[in-house]
Amino acid sequence: MVKWAGGDVTAPAVGEGRRGVVVGGVAVGLAGVVGLHGVIPNSPGRVGSLVESFLPWSGVVVVLLFVVALVRRSGVGLVALLLPVGVWVQGFGGLLLPGGEDGARELIVVQHNVSDENPDPAGTARALLAAGGDLVALEEVVVPALAVYEDVLGADYPHHAVHGTVGLWSKYPIRDEQLVDIRPRAFEDGWSRGLRAVVRTPYGDVAAYVAHLPSVRVGAGGLASSPRDESARMLGDIVRGEEVETVILMGDLNSTVDDRGLHPLTSQLNVAERGFAFSYPAALPLARIDQVLARSADVSHIRTLPATGSDHLPVAARVTLDPLQPSGRLAP
């Protein structure tokens, strides 16, 4: 502190003021990144997508800045932090709210990348049964484990469809099942990670999609996501042309819903309203890349389930169908 000549009035030292400006500047910059992430260029290295993949964790940075501002007694910094707090709450605060009561016209959907190296497919299937879902979507279903999933899930889910390495198990009848081609042009023939089936639920027909988009890699050159983005565009075009009004998309999309790489899907499908449900990696979940999206329905809540033998955590979502849609109940 310094004293003014002729009195006892004190003012902050220059160093303290600078520290407050630094904290405030970082806070304003963080608010800009969270609130205006869409303007971050995606080249080189798809930096925009990389930032968007971890946007919820900006809340941790806000907390750290708050601690720094308190320790340094920086009023400027504390006031400036109101900006990123407001932006974060607007973008992600709703995900912290409880899921609410179970509602009518609701389906419980379970989504899990079971891993092609899962040492205990039977145990994984039993764990998924405990969630009590109406639909169960699986990815990385390899041939040696397929019979195990069919055996364990079959009693509770008498209807199922499998194409390539993705599968759908349902309590309700399935019709019009088919392969969905989302193979990027550079990938070899035989790469099959998409299916569509119409599920005859008590609330009407639902077009159920299961997809496993290509993996991404983070390296010195940034985020390598071109095949995933191409596959997302292909899937988005297919969903846009879907004639059944109610759509539920389940899958390992190898991306978060904030990532612009999923814009072809998130621009036309509703995302989860409640719950973070970070699902990957299972040992230290940092992001939710296992998604449940819907059209003419709300994904009212999503949560993670206990770990299985996979490197992903399973997620369970409550999907509330649009009451304006006709029930369309069909005779068996």
pLDDT in tens, 260-281: 999 999 999 999 999 999 999 9
Contact indicator for 200, 232 with CB cutoff of 8 Å? no
If pLDDT is split at 50, 70 and 90, which confidence band does 101 have?
low
Q: What is the mean pLDDT of residues 306-324?
A: 93
If pLDDT is split at 50, 70 and 90, which confidence band does 64 have?
very high
Give the Cα separation of 284 and 242 in Å (integer). Answer: 37
pLDDT per position as a tens digit, 280-304: 999 999 999 999 999 999 999 999 9
- Dmax over CA atoms of the chain, in Å, equals 94
Give the Cα separation of 209 and 268 in Å (integer). Answer: 14
**Six-digit token string for 246:** 């109610």
E strand or H helix that includes residue 227: helix 226-240
Give me the torsion for CA of 68, 56, 52, 218, rounded to 10°.
Answer: 80
pLDDT per position as a tens digit, 102-135: 777 999 999 999 999 999 999 999 999 999 999 9
pLDDT score of 81 more than 70: yes
Peptide bond preceding 119 in cis form (omega within 30 of 0): no
Q: What is the mean pLDDT of residues 252-265?
A: 97
pLDDT at position 303 is 97
If pLDDT is split at 50, 70 and 90, which confidence band does 99 have?
confident
Give the Cα separation of 164 and 32 in Å (integer). Answer: 43
**Six-digit token string for 157:** 């889910």
pLDDT score of 85 more than 80: yes
pLDDT per position as a tens digit, 132-188: 999 999 999 999 999 999 999 999 999 999 999 999 999 999 999 999 999 999 999
Which residue, 58, 66, 65, is CA-closest to 87?
Answer: 58
Which residue, 59, 38, 57, 60, is CA-closest to 49?
Answer: 38
- Looking at residue 99, its amino acid is G
**Six-digit token string for 196:** 């569509």
Please report, rounded to a whole number, the percentage of residues in the chain having pLDDT higher than 70: 90
Q: What ranges make up the beta strands (E) of 202-306?
A: 204-212, 217-219, 222-224, 247-252, 290-295, 297-304
**Six-digit token string for 52:** 């968007």
- 129 in helix, strand or coil? helix
Which residues are bridge partners to 56 per DSSP? none
- Residues 6 or more apart in contact with residue 228 via CB below 8 angstroms: 213, 214, 215, 216, 253, 254, 255, 261
Rg (CA), the chain: 24
Peptide bond preceding 121 in cis form (omega within 30 of 0): no
